[in-house]
Structure 1
Amino acid sequence: MKTYSSRKEVPASERWDLTDIYPNTESWETDYTIVLEMTEKLRTFDGTIDNAQALYEYLTLKEETTYLYSKLYAFSQLQIDIDTRVSSSQALLDKVRHLGQKFSSATSFFMPFLLSLDEGALKEYIKEAEGLTYFEDDLFEAYRYKKHVLSKEKEEVLSQMGEALSSPRNTFGMINNADIRFGEVTDDNGAKVRLTRGMYSKLIEHEERDKRKEAYQAYYQPYTQLQNTIASTLASAIKNNVLLSNMRNYPSALEKSLFSDMVPKEVYENLIQSTKENMKPMYKYMTIRKERIGLNELRAYDLSVPLAAGIEQVIPYEKAYETMLKSLAPLGEEYVQTLAGFKEKRYIDVRETPGKRSGAYNLGLYGVHPFVLLNHQDDLDSLFTLTHEMGHAMHSYYSSRHQPQIKAGYSIFVAEVASTVNEVLLIRYLLNNTDDGQMKKHLLNHFIDQFKGTFFTQVMFSEFEKITHEKAERGEALHAEVFSSIYESLFKEYNGEELVLDEEVKYGWTRIPHFYRPFYVYKYATGFASAIHIADRLLEGNRDVLHSYLNFLKSGCSDYPLGLLKQTGVDLSKPEPIQNALSVFSGLVDDFSKQQ
Structure 2
Amino acid sequence: MTTTYKSRADVPLEEKWNLEDLYVSLQKWEEDLQAIDKTAVELKTFDGNIHNGTQLFQFLKKQEELSFKFNHVFAYAMLKVDEDTRDTASQSLIDRARALSVKVSSATSFFMPFLLGLNEETLKKYIAEEEGLAYFEEDLFESFRYKKHVLSKEQEAIMSQLGEALSAPANTYGMINNADIKFGEVTNDKGEKIELTRGMYSKRIEDEDREKRREAYRAYYKPYLQMKNSIASTLSAAIKNNVTTSKIRHYPSALEKGLFADNVPKAVYENVIQATKENIAPLHQYSQLRKEILGLDELRQYDMNVPLVSGVKQDIPFDKAYEVMLKALAPLGEDYIHTLKDFKKSRYFDVRETPGKRSGAYNLGVYGVHPFILLNHQDDLDSLFTLVHECGHGVHSKLSSQYQPQITARYSIFVAEVASTVNEVLLINYLLENEKDEKMKRHLLNHFIDKFRGTFFTQVMFAEFEKLTHEKAEQGEPLNVEIFNAIYETLLKEYYGEAIILDEEVKYGWARIPHFYRPFYVYKYATGFASAIHIATNLLEGKEDFLHSYLEFLKSGSSDYPLELLKKTGVDLTSQEPIKNSLVKFKELIEEFASL
Question: Where do 1:5-84 residues align within 5 Å?
Answer: 5-84=6-85
Amino acid at match of 2:310: A
Q: Look up the SS of the partner of 1:499 in the other structure.
A: coil
Amino acid at match of 1:32: L
Q: Look up the SS of the partner of 1:500 in the other structure.
A: coil
Q: Answer with 287-296 or 409-418: which moved more.
A: 287-296
d(CA) in 1 for partners of 2:289 and 2:212? 22
d(CA) in 1 for partners of 2:210 and 2:53? 70
Amino acid at match of 1:372: I
d(CA) in 1 for partners of 2:500 and 2:383? 27
Q: Look up the SS of the partner of 1:484 in the other structure.
A: helix
The residue aligned with 1:301 is 302
Structure 1, unmatched stretches of 5+, are none
The residue aligned with 1:106 is 107
Structure 2, unmatched stretches of 5+, are none
Q: Tell me, yes or no, if structure 1 residue 382 matches structure 2 residue 388.
A: no
Q: Look up the SS of the partner of 2:351 in the other structure.
A: strand
Amino acid at match of 1:242: V
The residue aligned with 2:556 is 555
The residue aligned with 2:526 is 525
d(CA) in 2 for partners of 1:283 and 1:129? 62
Deviation at 1:481, TM superposition (A): 0.6
Question: Where do 1:125-524 residues align within 5 Å?
Answer: 125-524=126-525
Deviation at 1:436, TM superposition (A): 1.0
Deviation at 1:58, TM superposition (A): 0.2
Deviation at 1:312, TM superposition (A): 3.0
Q: Look up the SS of the partner of 1:367 in the other structure.
A: coil
Q: Look up the SS of the partner of 1:459 in the other structure.
A: helix
Amino acid at match of 2:354: T
Q: Look up the SS of the partner of 1:351 in the other structure.
A: coil
Amino acid at match of 1:4: Y
Amino acid at match of 1:466: K
d(CA) in 2 for partners of 1:373 and 1:18? 12
The residue aligned with 1:120 is 121
Percent of matched pairs sharing the same residue: 66
Amino acid at match of 2:242: N
Amino acid at match of 1:590: E
d(CA) in 1 for partners of 2:34 and 2:464? 45
d(CA) in 1 for partners of 2:208 and 2:148? 57
Measured against aligned partners, the alpha-carbon deviations of 1:40-68 in whole angstroms (never above 9, x if no partner) come to 00000000000110000000000000000
Q: Look up the SS of the partner of 1:131 in the other structure.
A: helix
Amino acid at match of 2:337: V
Measured against aligned partners, the alpha-carbon deviations of 1:509-538 in whole angstroms (never above 9, x if no partner) come to 000000000000000000000000000110
Q: How many residue pairs get matched?
A: 595
Measured against aligned partners, the alpha-carbon deviations of 1:311-341 in whole angstroms (never above 9, x if no partner) come to 1311010000000010000000000011111
d(CA) in 1 for partners of 2:591 and 2:488? 29
Deviation at 1:288, TM superposition (A): 1.1
Measured against aligned partners, the alpha-carbon deviations of 1:15-64 in whole angstroms (never above 9, x if no partner) come to 01000000011000011111110010000000000011000000000000
Measured against aligned partners, the alpha-carbon deviations of 1:181-212 in whole angstroms (never above 9, x if no partner) come to 00000011111100000110110011110000
Deviation at 1:551, TM superposition (A): 0.2
d(CA) in 1 for partners of 2:317 and 2:261? 41
d(CA) in 2 for partners of 1:449 and 1:496? 16
d(CA) in 1 for partners of 2:542 and 2:15? 34
d(CA) in 1 for partners of 2:380 and 2:311? 14
d(CA) in 2 for partners of 1:409 and 1:208? 45
d(CA) in 2 for partners of 1:561 and 1:397? 18
d(CA) in 2 for partners of 1:479 and 1:429? 46
Amino acid at match of 2:285: K
Deviation at 1:435, TM superposition (A): 1.8
| Greater than 4 Å deviation, 4+ residue runs | none
Amino acid at match of 1:259: F
d(CA) in 1 for partners of 2:17 and 2:335? 24
Deviation at 1:310, TM superposition (A): 1.2
Measured against aligned partners, the alpha-carbon deviations of 1:461-480 in whole angstroms (never above 9, x if no partner) come to 00000000000000000001
Amino acid at match of 2:584: S
Deviation at 1:287, TM superposition (A): 1.1
Deviation at 1:571, TM superposition (A): 0.2
The residue aligned with 2:5 is 4
Amino acid at match of 1:11: P
Structure-2-length-normalised TM-score: 1.00
